[in-house]
Amino acid sequence: MLNDLIAEMQANVDASGIANTPPQEAPKGSGAVVDGADGEKKKGEKKERPKGGGRPAKVEPNVPPKDVETVNALDFRVGVIIAVKKHDTADKLYCEEIDIGEAEPRTIASGLVPHYTLEQMQGKRLIVVANLKPRNLVGFKSCGMVLCAASPDPSHPSGEKVEFIDPPAGAKPGDRVIGEGLAHYDALPASQVDKQKVWEKIGANLRVDAQGVATWSGARLVVEGLTGEAAVCTAPSVKDAPIR
């Protein structure tokens, strides 16, 4: 009975005109591919690649034009000191490691020994200028600077009172600080900041107002992504004074 069934199936196949023929081979060197009876592509098939090699289109940075002076040309980032020590030979310098949301902490030297103890520095939240060219300060590579407000104080041994600019409570390391209401730009690369003397031009108009709010040319410095008073950067007690 099984043999009869097999014979019947073979007869049906023959009647349908479908032949179990092997796939044809393309002539050598032609680059062509011939389908087999099952309709599948065989070895040697050339896959089409998307134009441009599949690479994403290059996105140009939105940096401010040379004739536009704005604090948003600078890269201010919220940071927190995760390690700090006194410089080996420079009495006024601290050597800090600061988390600003990058893969590795920034190393920055600050002349704050007369104003903060080591204990006060550890874990301090602050604002870092992150797109300055690294500088060697008495043998220590400093990759940025921290923002502080300073006002005259005859009672202090240094002759002035210096305080960190504090980010708001809801800010996280790496959050960007920008000028409120100003046109948004990507920060300039450090090489351009150095070449165009951007810090020297912009820094001259940084100050805390009569309420201790950090500003640039009247625009408040705020943390991007936060809103209202919860976004404002301030000095704890210094008022109406320059930021440097």
Instruction: Note the pTM of the prediction, 2 decimals.
Output: 0.76
Q: Tell me if 73 sits within 8 A of 190, measured CB to CB.
A: no
Q: Where are the beta strands (DSSP E) in the chain?
A: 76-86, 94-99, 106-110, 125-129, 135-137, 140-142, 145-146, 148-152, 160-164, 176-179, 206-208, 214-216, 219-223, 241-242
For residue 215, which of 244, 173, 179 has the smallest C-alpha distance? 179
110 forms beta bridges with 94
Number of H helices, E strands in the chain: 4, 14
Q: Please, which residues have CB within 8 angstroms of residue 120's CB and are 6 or more apart in sequence?
A: none
Instruction: Provide the pLDDT for residue 18.
Output: 43
**Domain spans of the chain, in order of start:** 71-242
Q: Provide the CB-side half-sphere exposure for 223 (13 A, CA).
A: 26
**What is the distance between the alpha carbons of residues 6 and 23, in angstroms, rounded to a whole number?**
25
Instruction: Provide the pLDDT for residue 65.
Output: 84
Instruction: Provide the pLDDT for residue 24.
Output: 53
Full DSSP string of 47-84: PPPPGGGGPPPPPPP-PPPTT---GGGS-EEEEEEEEE
**What is the distance between the alpha carbons of residues 234 and 167, in angstroms, rounded to a whole number?**
7
**What is the distance between the alpha carbons of residues 172 and 209, in angstroms, rounded to a whole number?**
24
User: Mean pLDDT per 10-residue run, the chain (244 residues)?
Assistant: 47 48 50 48 55 68 86 98 96 97 98 97 98 95 97 95 97 98 96 95 96 98 96 97 97
Instruction: Provide the pLDDT for residue 34.
Output: 45
For residue 141, which of 185, 80, 96 has the smallest C-alpha distance? 96
Domain 71-242 sits in CATH 2.40.50.140: yes
Instruction: Provide the pLDDT for residue 165.
Output: 98
**What is the distance between the alpha carbons of residues 77 and 128, in angstroms, rounded to a whole number?**
5
For residue 90, report the phi and psi dihedrals to the nearest 5 degrees.
-90, 110
DSSP 34: -
SS3 14: helix
